[in-house]
Amino acid sequence: MPSRDPVQRFPDILAAISHIEEFTWGLSAQTFAANDQVIFAVKYALTIIREAATKLGDVAPGLRPDVPWREIRLGNRLAALSHRTP
């Protein structure tokens, strides 16, 4: 579960990445696509990453300047759009 502590947000991101690696270890693209539980778990972990990256704000580039923080944060907007009904 993501932390409310701003200092803990970066480790939350690292933990979510580790979970994604654990959930998908050894899966082919076809096996992954056929497993709704794994897809749901990975989507949840990506949500944690996006939310934590957003809450890190201007601190994020100082932690890892090589990470495309803007694109990660933009994922929040894209996810919100994908959940809207026409």
CA-CA distance, 13 to 31, in Å (whole number)?
Answer: 25
Task: Report the number of distinct structural domains present in the chain.
Answer: 1
Residues 6+ apart with CB under 8 A from 49: 13, 16, 17, 72, 75
For 21-37, what is each residue's pLDDT tens digit?
999 999 999 999 999 99
pLDDT tens for each residue of the chain, 86 residues long = 555 666 678 888 999 999 999 999 999 999 999 999 999 999 899 989 988 888 888 888 888 889 888 888 877 555 554 555 44
Residue 28 lies in a domain: yes
Cα Rg, the chain, nearest whole Å:
14
Residue 63 is part of which domain span?
A: 6-82
Residue 67 lies in a domain: yes
Residue 1 lies in a domain: no
Residue 55 lies in a domain: yes
Give CA separation, 43 vs 38, 53, 59, 63, in Å.
Answer: 8, 15, 24, 24
